[in-house]
Structure 1
Amino acid sequence: MSRWKALPTELDPRVRQLAVRLRRLKDHSGLSVRQLAARTGYSPKSWERYLGGRSLPPREAVEALALIGGEDPTRLLALHEVAADAWGNPRGGTPVPETAVMETAPPEAEILSAEPGGGGARSLRFAIVAGTVALVLAVSSAVLVTWRLMDHGGGTADETTTTVTLTAGTSAPAYSCRLKQVDGRWYAGNSRTRNATVGYGDSGPAVAEVQCLLRRAGISPGGIDGMFGPLTQGAVKAFQKQARLDVDGVVGPHTWKALRG
């Protein structure tokens, strides 16, 4: 069983109950914070705040953790709705403001020490890394997205370039969308595959390619982070429905063909 740090004493009981349930599911899954981040599409720092009671998790994150933990998400989402009401209108306590989280968040080593097998040397290493990350976060905390439309003389194809710089503290590398049409097919500069199977929990350039092509199709997958989480899965299903394909949330040869158009 993980050794969790005590939740803030001023936390509303309804929010506290949600945080305790999320902690139990995380323990039951046997995943580390980083593994949980890779499976859900939310960064390790975000999960540290959610599980520490310092930030209210979004509905999609709660649903993703419930599915990973093998629990019916219906009851947990109902609890999340109650907690969300308490977070916005506290009666039993005052939640910690999100702005204060960045200033008072404990070192990452305190969170990671709750994971099985965390030794003293490992904790010290992560404490040093956490201090460096906190300094970088104070300087750089914004996502820069630049859209550039270029007309290619003949007027047959436009190239749209999206440059994405991820904030410090995220574990995924930065990806960019450099959309270009070649021989009637669209490519975003991350992967040229047409038949690789990509689904929930996957990560890497092929996932970033899917996210860019979904955005080109007018369906937002969330961020271009190369992680196939619940937001990307929902966007894939919406695209498959729009393209009259089998709606399974998995990108295979038929979905690639439709995405590349």
Structure 2
Amino acid sequence: MSRWKALPAELDPRVRQLLVRLRRLKDHSGLSLGQLAAKTGYSPKSWERYLGGMSLPPREAVEAMARITGDDPTRLLVLHEVAAEAWAERRAAPEATEPEVLLTGPESAAPPVAGPGRSLRIALVAGAVAMVLAVVSAVLLAIRLQGGGEEEAAAPRASSAASASASRSEPDPGPPTYTCRMERIDGRWYTGNSRTQDAVLTVGLAGPKVAEAQCLLLRRAGVSPGGVDGIFGPMTQSAVKQVQRRAGLVVDGVTGPHTWKVLRG
């Protein structure tokens, strides 16, 4: 498992929630940054910045990560939506500055002098700016509430729910669990995870088909794949090679139709 550097301390909890989830998916997949780049189309340097908290990964990169690791894309994209909102808020936050008063006429040539007149002008300008901002915010809110339909209203609710979940820092449920229920049907063995007989599985893939192969490797062939976690990693590949070597097949560590035939008996 990768030894990750600590995320930046100033990172928003909503962004941190997304990056921690992406780091766990990469660890479970067994992919290096180079392999991850080859499968997603984003360079290793880009993934290094994304997973290090230096820049926010785009939606397409998050969706690609979910696809290749077998994770639920809907949940992951909701986390990304919340993180993107937090990231935009941080970048848009204005720095505190003193109000600036522009004068015209003779007063503009004179140096600023502290006094009741100047203080009054500053207070009036600041009050006017605050009033304009309040009016603009109210108008935008009214337009959003009136113009958005049921679908638009559902998005903020989902975002709020995900944000509340992130702020509570609930424990991640982790990857799905699989069981090996051996059953013989029409002369072939199945374990209850998949009925495939020809799926091509290799390092980096994940899901119930991988779990099915792992159960058969463990229960039928007597070779340990490193656990039944649904992730095709190096130990699963090594177990497949042992079975292929025994059966006189091409030893490439890839589970294809011929290897399935041996495993299912």
TM range (shorter): 0.3 to 0.5
Bigger Rg over Cα: 2
Q: TM-score, normalised by structure 1?
A: 0.44
Is the strand fraction higher in 1 or 2? 1
Q: TM-score, normalised by structure 2?
A: 0.43
Is the helix fraction higher in 1 or 2? 2
